Structure 1
Amino acid sequence: MLIIPVFIVGCSASNAQHVTVLQNAKVWKGSCVVLPCKYTTGTVNTFVWFHNAVYQGNEFQGNIVYHSTNKDQVDELFANRVQYAGKETKDCAIKITNFQKEDEGRYQVRLYGTGFKWMSKNVTIEVSDTGPALEITNPTEIRESNSITLTCSINYYCPMDNIIWIGEVNGTSTPNVKYDLDGTRTSSSFTFSASWKDDKKNITCVIERGDGETGNKTIQLNVKHSPKNVQVLPNNATIKIQKSQPLTLTCSVESSNPPAYQITWYKDESLQNFNRGNEKEYQVTSSGTYLCKAKNTIDETTSKPVEVSVLHAPENVFIKKPDKIVEGMDILLTCSATANPPVFRYVWFKEGNECYNNTNNEFTISKIKENDSGTYTCLARNELNDTVSDEVVLDVTYAPRFPRVVLVLDGKTFDEEDVTLIEGDKVTFQCIVNSSNPDVSKYTFYKNNEEFKKYINRPIEAKDAGQYICEAQNTAGRTKSPGVYVDVHYPPNGVKIYTTSNIVQENQKIKLTCSSKSSKPKISRYEWYKNRVLFRNSTSEFFELWVEWTHTGSYSCKAFNVIGFTESQETKIIVQYAPRNVTLNILPGEHVTEHMDVKMTCTGKGNPDVGYTFYLNDVPLSSGYGFFSLYNVQVKDSGKYSCVAQNDVGPGISNVVYLHVSYSPTSIGKFASMAVFPFIALLIIIFLISNNESADNMGRQAQSMHGSIDQLNYASVKFPPAPAKRQINPPSANILFVFLIFIFLQYENIESSKRTNDESQDEIHYSVITNLKKKSANREYDPEVEYAKLRHS
C-alpha cells in the first residue's frame, strides 16, 4: 500500500502578492494531491500550472500541468490526471492523481489577464514511497459515564480517501477535512458514552484509499471506574454456624480501574477493620450483618449485606443498674446478655438467694430502702446453656439525717434554740449530722434564709444576730436543720456628738446630744468630755449649756451599757465674744519732742477676729490693724489718744493715753533768731532812757532766771499783736527783762537738748510768758511799756 501524504509547510506570494499558493508539499507514490491556489488581482482570463518552468525569451517555458482554457497544451505526462479543484471565484486550485516519482519538482501557476501576466512563487513537491501514519487523539483520562470523543487524522487530503472506525464500542463518527492555503488535513471524530465495560477494549481507525490501499491505527481504551460487582462470599442471605466452627468471608470485586483499591468491613453498620491491597478476607466470630466496601480513587462501592448467625450459650451476662440509687426511689435492674438462640429465662439472686424468676430480663425494687442494699446476680438461660452474671452491689444512698446547728465558744458547745453572745466572741458554727450515705460533701449555713459563709472561728458581730440553720448535702440529697436564734450583745455603736450649733455667741444657750445608732442592751449612762477632760456625767443623752467665752474647746462623749462603752469623735465648739482687755501702748512714751516717730499698738482678745480704730481727742484717726504710727510728730499732735477694738459681737474700749509733744531746739532757735534784732534796738533805747530802772529790772530778772535754771528746759513766749499804726516808744526796763529771759531760755533749751531722752523726760517743765494788763487796781503802769509775766505749767 502506497499512500502519498502532502505536508504543508507554508504559503508564498507572487509578485505584489497577487497569487497565493502552497510553499511546498510532500506526497507519496500513487496518491493524489490538491494544490490550493488563490489570486486577488483583476479579471483573469487564463491560468496555467507549470512543472519545473524556466524563464526564456520573455516567457516561462516548461511542462504544462494544467491549462484553464486549452487542455490540448497539457503535457502528456499529466494528461487525464489533473483536474480543477477550485470551489469559489478567484480559485486556481488543482488536483493531481496517481502521483509518481517523476512528478517531483517545482510547480508554479501563471495568470493571464487583460494587460497583465503574473507568475506565482514555486511550490516544491516531494514524493515518498512510505505513507504518513494515522494519529488518534483522545482525552488524558476517560471516566465511566463521560461523553468521550476520539479523533483520527492524517496530514494530507485526497477526496478519494475515507476514514472509518472499527471496534466493540458503540458510538457515532464524523469526518472532517481541512483544505485551505494553510495546509491540508483529513480526520474523523468518534464520540461515545464510556462504560466501565469498555475498559481495555480496542478501537481501530482505518483509512480507505481510492486505489484500494488501506492503513489503520489501534488503541486500547483505559476507562477509569469505581470497583464493580462488589459482593461478600459466600453470597448467602443468611449463614448459620456454631461458635466453634470457623467462617471466613471474602470481599469480591469484579473490576476496578485503577486496580488498587481498599477493602473495609462493616458489622451491623459499624466499622470493623481496615485492610489494604488484596487482603479481602474477614474472620467471623459473632453473629451480625456483614458487608464490605471497595474504594479506589474514583469512588467506592458497597456490597449487599450478609446475615451471619453464630449459635452460642448466653454470653456477656451483666446487670445494668442506675448510676444513682437513693432511698425511696423505684430501682430498675436489667440483666443483659448476648445469646443465639435468645435467652428465654432470667433468675435473680440477692446474696445467693433467689428473689425473682421471670422471662423478662428486668427486675424492679419499689421504693428501695437502706436494707435493700446488698450483692445481686442474674442467671440467663437459652436452649444451649445457662450463664450467671458477675455480682453487682447495690448501695442505697440517702440524704443526711437530722442535721442541727451547734455553736462552739472557748471549747464550750451551745445547741440551744436561743443563744446569746457578746460581740467579739470568737465563735465557730458547726453542723452536726446523725448519719449520711454517702458522707456529707457540703455544709451550707443560712442566716435569715440567706447563705452565710463566715462561720469558722470568727469574731461575732452585731450584724450576725438572727436565725441560723444549716444544710447538709451529699449526692443523695440535702437536708436542713431546725433554726437556732443567735442574739448578739454589743456596746453602743455609731456614737456621735451633735450640737445645735458649733459656733455660738457668749451668753447664748446650746444643746449637746450624744447619739448612738444602736446598743444592746440599752445605754445606761453618758460621760461628757471637754478637751479630753471629764466635766459631766448624766443618764440623759443630751444637756443644755449657757456658754461663756471659756467654753470654747473640743467636746466628746462616751455611751455606756453593761457590755462596755463607745466614745464619739470630738466636735469643736467655738464661742464668739466681744473684745476684752483692750490696751493701748505708745512708744517711745507719752512725752516726746517734735519730729520724732511715735508708734501706737492696740491689743485685745476677741472672737471672731478684731478690727481696731484709733482716736485723738475722741476723733477717729485710723481703722484696720492694731497699730498706728505718727511720723515726724508735731506739737499739734499732742492730745488724748485711745482705741476701740470691734468684731461682729461688739466693741471693746482701751485705756486713754495723753501724748505731750514739745518744741525741738531747732524750733526754739528759729523763734529766737526772728526776735534778736528788735531786742538789740530796744536794749540800746533802754540804756539811754533809764539806766537805773533797767539795772533793777535786769537784777530781778536775773535772779528769777537763776533761781529756776536748774528746772527750766522748755518755754514759750507769747506777745499780743501790735495795734495798727502804733508808735514805738523806747523799751522800758520790763521789756529788757523779757528779752533777757528769752535769751536765757534759748540757752537753757540748747543745753537740755544734749541730755538723753530719759533724763529730759524726768525734768521737763513748761512755762508760758503772757502779757500783763496795762492797768491794775493796785499798780500804775506806764502806757508806753509792755508788761509780761512767766507762768509755769
Structure 2
Amino acid sequence: MHLLGPWLLLLLEYLAFSDSNKWKVEHPSTFYAWEGACIWIPCRYQIPRGSALLDNLTVYHNYEYNKNISDFNGTILYNSTKTWESPSQQGRVRFLGDQRNNCTLSIHSLLVGDSGQLGLRMMTKDDKWMEAVNLSISKSPFPPQIQLPSELRESQKVTATCLLNFTCFGYDIKLQWSLEGAPFPPAPTIISSSHTIKTVLTQSQLAFEPEWSHHGKNLTCQVWHSAKVLSEGTVQLDVKHPPKGVTTVIQSSTRIREGDSVTLSCRYNSSNPTVTRYEWSPQGLWNEPSHGVLRIRKVAWDTPPISCAACNQWCSSAPPVNLDVQYAPKDVKVLQISPELEIHAGNRVQLQCNFSKSHPKEVHFSWKKNGSLLEEKGRELNFDSISPEDAGNYKCLVNNSIGQSASKAWRLQVLYAPRRLWVSITPGDRVMEGRKAALTCESDANPPVSQYAWFDWNNQDLQYMGQTLRLEPVKVEHSGSYWCKGVNRLGEGKSPPSTLTVYYSPETIGRRTTMGIGLCLAILILAIWGVKLQQNWKRTRSQQGLQENSSGQSFFVRNKKVRRTPLSEGPHSLGCYNPMVEDGISYAALRFPETDTPRAGDAGTSETQGPLPNNEDVVTYSVVQKRVGDYENVTPDFPEDEGIHYSELVQFGAGERPRAQEDVEYVTLKH
C-alpha cells in the first residue's frame, strides 16, 4: 500500500487538473551517488500551452498529497522566487534550467538521508504539474561494473567497459585499469561521461587483444577522486586459445596445372586443449577424406589460397597457401575502343581483345567473324570506314602455353539511315476487288524505321504512317503504283514504285455486261426513233417547199362559215395531189371565183392572170378531205360535214389590205 501511495496521489492530481496530462517531462528515472558527493539531474519539460512560461518551481523531498488542502506536503528543498536567482546565489539544491523547457537541478553535499523521492512541482498561471525523481544515496562509494564479451579468445580484439552510474559537474572522478596489480594497458584509456535526459554515467572502455597467457588473471577497474581510490571492481579473465604453430603443407614437387590432383596436410606444434578436428578454408569446395589431409582431384584455375585450422574448443588457422595453378587466359572479351558510343556507317572503329588473367602471361591473339577466322592477328581490330556489311558477331581468341580461350560473341552494330526500301504486296500484285490487300514497306535500317509515309501514283501523300498499308476491301479504284518512305533518326530512304492491279469480280462483270446490253438496246431504240423523226421532218420540209414554190406569196388561212359560197354558183375548182404528205392529207380541192381564170400550175399555188380587183375580198374555198386513193374534184354534199373544213385564202399584194371582220376565226386543220 505504501508503494501505491505516490501513484495514487498522481492520479488524484490528474483528476483535479484535467489538462495536466499534457505536460511532458523527461529525465532519468533514478540517480545514484554516495554521501559527500553531488548529483546532476538533467531534466527537460514541455508546457501544454507552448507560449506559457514557468512561474514557479518547488522541489519536495518525500512529498505527499494532502486532500484537505488539495495540494502537496513535504520537505521543501528548493522554491523558486519571482526573480529566479542565479545558481551561485542558491543553496545546496540549485535550479539550472529556465522558464521554457529546461528543468535541470543539482544537489551538493549529499547525505544518506537524501535517498527517497523528489517531487518537482511546476506551475504556470493556468496549469500545474508534479514530477517524481528517485534518489539512491549510499554511505560509501559503490564499485563500478566491468562488462566483458561472453567469450575471450587469444589475439581476438575485445572491448572491456568499466561503468559507474554517477557523474556530477564539480566532482571529478577517474577510472583506471590494472591487470594483476600492474597498470594495463601502458597507454591511458579514454574516459567519457554522459549526463543526458536518458542516462547519467561515467565509463571507460579498454580495447585489447587477450593473449593465451592472460588466462586466469584478474582485470581490475578503480574509481579515483583527488588522488584517492574510492572503489574498485574486479573480474577474472577466461581466455580460450587455439592450437599454436599451425601450418599447411603442399605434398607435390611439380608445378600445378589446371585440372591436376593436389594433396595438402594440416600440421601444428601445440594446442590447449588437444586438437579434435580440422577445418579447411575456404569451406564447401571439397571434402576432407582423412584426418588432417585434404585431397583435391581436379584443381580449378581460380582456386583461392588454402588454409587449414586445427581446432579444439576454438580453432587456430594456418597462414594461407597459394597453389600457384597455371591456366589458359580467362575472362576474354571484346571491347569497343572507338567510337565510345554509337557506331555510324563511315566511322573509324577500333575493337580490342581484352582478358583479365593468364598464367603464364605470354599470349597470342586472333579474331573470328560469324565463326570464320580473320587474317588479323593483333590485339586490336581496326575499321577505317565501317559499312553495314561489317556488322556481325565477333570473337577474339587468346592462347598461351596452357591453352586457348575465346570471348563471347560480341555483336557489332552499325547504325545507318534506311536503305533498300521496297513495297511487298500480299497476297500478290493482282487482287480481285472486294478482297483484302496489304502493302508492306520493307527496309534495311539500323535503328529500325521509326516512321513511314505512303504515296500513290500521283505522288500524293496518303496520310498513313504505319509500315503496312491495308486496303479492306480493295476496289478497282485502288489500282496503281504505290511507294513508301522510311525515316529513322539518321535519315530517310525511298522505295521504287510497286504496281497493284485490282480486277473485277465475276459479279461486277455480270452487272456491267447487263448494263452494257441495256445501254446498247436503248441507243438502238433512240437511233430508230431519231430516224423516224428525221423522216417526218424531211416530209414536213418538203411540203413547205412545195407551198413556197407554188406562188411565192404569203397567205393566211381563215375559217369564215357565213361567207361560204353556195355550190350552185359553179366556181372553178382545181384538185392537187401531194405525194410527200400522203399519210396526212390525201385530197385537196381549191375553188376560185368566176371572175378570174387561174393559170394552170402546181397544186397549192395562188398565182392568177390579171390583177385582182381592189377593195374586194378575194375568197378561195378549199375542201380538205382524208382520202386513200388518187385525187379528184370533190363537191361537198352537206355544208356542215364533219370531215370537211372550209378556209378563206386572202391574197396579199398591191393595194389596200382588206380589214378583217369581227366574226372571222382562224381555221382548224383536222385530219
The structure whose residues are more often strand, as a share, is: 1
Kindly name which structure, 1 or 2, has the bigger radius of gyration based on alpha carbons. Answer: 1
TM-score (norm 1): 0.27
Q: Relative contact order (C-alpha < 8 Å, sep 6+): which is higher?
A: 2
